[in-house]
Amino acid sequence: MTDELFPILLTFDLDGESLALAADPASASRPGVLSTGRYGPTTGVYHLLAALESEGIPATFFVPGWIAERYPEAVEAIVKGGHEVAHHGYTHVSPADQEPEEERAALEKGIEILEKLTGCRPQGYRSPSWDFSDQTLELLQEYRFRYSSNFMDSDRPYLHPGDWASSWWSCLSSGCSMMHPFTCFAPHIPGRLARPTQPMSLGLRSCRPSPRSRARCSC
């Protein structure tokens, strides 16, 4: 046993309807399916914010740009509560399923929307489905993200391998070098949305450990 303190931090993916629509565009005509996602940005997030406030716990909310556009009041409530808003794609389409220009466009659009709503450029990134393409890390570096929260292979944050992430200085000066692993709990996943042949990535999640160095970003 050790007396060393180990931070356990909370993050939430505010996916809304974007997840069901990415899984099956035909869900656009299924109001029952969409309602399971709509609950998050219209109701669930406010319960979470109240619980976090009552315990004095700061958190990070990863929000797709499309959901931020659709529910700006939810994003405003997150910021007002002193929490971080981080990048979660534009729609909930995995970068691994996008062409290079599509991935770049989604990253840029998500940055633009979140910066407009929060007043701060997002510092963290969690991929829809937690998956990467061959160019994801290079894009995160180019757009100067400070951290990524996607993989689940360690209890502690670590540097991505590669020449540009070979030192702490590169981590601080050249963009996204840090990977913050996490454990995910998604207890309320509609069975009709689950696709067993694909990684589980559905529902509003509370995960740990996650990056969150301060309540608001430094602009």
pLDDT at 188: 38
pLDDT at 148: 87
pLDDT at 150: 83
pLDDT at 159: 77
Sequential pLDDT tens for the chain (219 residues): 456 776 777 899 999 998 888 888 888 888 888 888 899 999 999 999 999 999 999 999 999 999 999 999 999 999 999 999 999 999 998 898 999 999 999 999 999 999 999 999 999 999 988 788 888 988 998 999 988 888 777 777 777 665 444 333 333 333 334 555 555 444 333 333 333 333 333 333 333 333 433 334 444
Spell out the domains of the chain, with CATH numbers in brackets: 10-195+203-208 (3.20.20.370)
pTM of the model: 0.75
Whether residue 144 contacts residue 108, with contact meaning beta carbons closer than 8 Å, is answered with: no
pLDDT at 131: 83
pLDDT at 215: 39
Q: What is the rounded distance in angstroms from the CA atom of residue 162 to the CA atom of residue 105?
A: 25
